[in-house]
Amino acid sequence: MDKLKTNIRNMDKNTVTLFAISVFIFIIMGILAPKSFLGVTNLQGMCVQFPEFGILSLGMMLAMISGGIDLSLVGIANLSGIVGTVIMLKMGGGSASVFIGIAVGLLTGMLCGIFNGILIGYLQIPPMLVTLCGLQLFTGLGLAITKGPALTGLPGEFSVIANGTIIGIPIALIIFIIAAIAVSFLLKSTVYGQHVSYKGTNAIASGYSGIDNLKVTIITYAISGLLGAVGGIVMTSHYNSAKSDYGTSYTLLSLLIVVLGGTNPDGGKGKVIGVTLAVIVLQLVSSAFNILRVNSFVKTFVWGLILIFIMIITTIVDKKQIKREAKGE
């Protein structure tokens, strides 16, 4: 119980820190480039951009809480978008084709996740190897379908998903909010949420306590794959085309977001609010870099540095916490 209270306190501190960083960025950019950064166009643009990798980050978070990782999410996202696009184009691009294409795309993502889950849970292959190979597999399948160039000619109704608004609120942002609420509900209010946390904390102990680790693993990666597909649909709609190499930087970005959001890389701990704030922080940083015209390669380099820095700090803090607990403090 004491350890649980300590974890909650740590997560609250992490949340406060991320919120403070967001405010700090707003203040700095408000001083450096108030018209560009605080303008309505830029704020709306950010709300359209971050749902793509934000939804993928939710899938990555679930995988990490279970004690694993999902490096295949970008591949799943692109393959799902490609499959959905093919369906829409084959059916003539009508309203019905959009609905069916999206449904098939979501099913594709879930099946890819189940495939990962079976290899990880049943064959006991390390998640990093399975999902890294899955990234290449799903990307290759997408490339085989498209033959290289992007698939275009999507119906106008489909592009509204990422580029449209409802009472001034971007639809992509609404989709992200719904996904975040759904994942938060799963983790806080369902038996699955308890089981995935227990498994991530100690898979052996959870198995002895009667938890079906195989079932939890398959469900986790199925949901992760579904979230990857949702992100892929939003990404495809944003570009109004489908290609196998969209969002190549999102794998590193989603990892950075999840760790920055307070999710334990070793499993067992993570909150949607932390990931959501981390998404906002990274989007603010990205937007600031764009406005200040910082080279995109420098931005990727900085993200990598931030990820390494966070992992070092997290490891140091965890070790100090373990020492304090061992001394009974």
Q: In terms of residues, how long is the chain?
A: 329
- Predicted confidence (pLDDT) at residue 53 exceeds the cutoff of 80: yes
Mean pLDDT, rounded, for 54-65: 94
**Helix, strand or coil, per DSSP, at residue 151:** strand
User: Which pLDDT band, with edges at 50, 70 and 90, does 326 fall under?
Assistant: low
% pLDDT > 90, the chain: 43
Cα 95 to Cα 89: distance, rounded to the nearest angstrom: 11
**113 and 227 in contact (C-beta within 8 Å)?**
no
- pLDDT over 50 (residue 318): yes
H or E stretch including 56?
helix 40-65
**Tens digit of pLDDT for each residue in 209-228?**
889 999 999 999 999 999 99
Q: Residue 5: pLDDT above 60? A: no
Instruction: Please give the average per-residue pLDDT across 29-42, as a whole number.
Output: 79
Q: What is the pLDDT of residue 256?
A: 85
pLDDT at 329: 56
84-93, 126-135, 289-298, 300-309: range with highest mean pLDDT: 126-135
Q: Residue 157 CB: number of other CB atoms within 10 A?
A: 16
Tell me: the pLDDT tens digits for 241-274?
A: 899 888 888 888 898 889 888 888 888 888 899 8
Per-residue pLDDT reduced to its tens digit, 143-154 = 999 888 888 888
Is pLDDT at 1 greater than 50 in this prediction?
no
Question: For the chain, what are the domain ranges?
Answer: 47-247
Q: Is the pLDDT of residue 10 over 70?
A: no
Exposure string over 294-326, b if 16+ CB within 10 A, otherwise e: eeeeebeeebeebbeebeeebeeeeeeeeeeee
Residue 191 pLDDT:
93
| pLDDT of amino acid 219 | 95
Mean pLDDT across the chain = 86
**Is a pLDDT exceeding 50 seen at residue 8?**
no
The mean pLDDT of 44-73, rounded to a whole number, is: 91
**242 strand-pairing partners:** 151
Average pLDDT rounded to a whole number, residues 304-326: 73
Least confident interval from 43-47, 105-109, 122-126, 134-138:
43-47
* Of 43 and 314, more confident: 43
- For residues 170 and 315, the model is more confident at 170
